Amino acid sequence: MKRSFYFCWICRKEWKGQEYNGVQCENDGCGQRLKKPNALTSCKPEFKEDKLKKEGEAIYHMNDKPDRKRLALIINNVDFRNTDSRAGAEKDEQCMEQLLQTLDYTVVTLRDLSAQGMRAAMRDFAGREEHTKSDSCFVVFMSHGGPSGLSGIFDSFTEGDEEDIFSVDEIFDSLNTLHCSGLRDKPKIIIIQACRGDKSGSVDVEDSVRIQGTKQEHREKDFCCFRSSTPGH
């Protein structure tokens, strides 16, 4: 628009009011943070004590709050250069941030990275000193994808174009014992929201009540998949 644009760091709206030496702008509600509802319900102390007593040897060690520094990484690719954007992915990002923060993780959120950017982000995250005082970590990827991995923002689904792909194997490699000693013997939870091919993810099925026509259901749903080993091991 060929003019200077002033915005407020607090409410992130266009600045209103005194432009110099202002602590906050004059937008309605600026500086007032709405308290989000707790995303989790805490267990009772008795439940925790009973679990630790009966299954203590099978439970990962948990650091005490005053000393621990939990980290989580979210990479969310929304706007792509050569294909459709992932409309609505911002809401998934917000919900995941809220959940992880409630679990006492400091969340690092990055948007719209190339494969090279995702590779660098994973390398930097694995090298964070906070992991030595942590008892776990979360890594969340949200992007387009295919059989060979996760799409960077320059990826194109047109045959013949150069791929911008980040291999899922690189996530495991970045956080393994060799490259991330701070997370040795600590749970590393990886969540990936991305396609793994171009086949349709839904199938026509008859409704529970026999009527004319069918409805769409996910082809593969109600699964809970955990991998006990990293690829190749």
In a domain, 97, yes or no: yes
pTM, 2 dp: 0.74
**Active-site residue, selected from the candidate residues 195, 218, 225, 233:** 195
Domain encompassing residue 211: 70-218
Residue 156 has pLDDT above 80, yes or no: yes
Question: Which of 24-33, 113-122, 132-141, 157-166 shows the lowest per-residue confidence on average (mean pLDDT)?
Answer: 24-33
Sign of CA dihedral 124, 130, 135, 141: negative
In a domain, 55, yes or no: no
Q: Which two tokens stand for residue 18?
A: 């005194």
**Active-site residue, selected from the candidate residues 8, 131, 144, 180:** 144
In a domain, 33, yes or no: no
Q: Which residues pair with 59 in a beta bridge?
A: none
In a domain, 2, yes or no: no
> In terms of pLDDT, which residue wins out, 159 or 62?
62
Q: Is 195 annotated as catalytic? A: yes
Q: What is the pLDDT of residue 195?
A: 87
Q: What is the pLDDT of residue 128?
A: 95
* CATH number of 185's domain: 3.40.50.1460
Domain count, the chain: 1
Based on its alpha-carbon atoms, the radius of gyration of the chain, rounded to whole angstroms, reads: 22
* Integer CA distances (angstroms), 93 to 22, 32, 143, 156, in order: 31, 22, 11, 23
Q: What is the pLDDT of residue 32?
A: 64
Q: Which two tokens stand for residue 26?
A: 């004059």
> In terms of pLDDT, which residue wins out, 124 or 216?
124
Residue 54 has pLDDT above 80, yes or no: yes
Contacts of 197 (CB under 8 A, 6+ apart): 146, 147
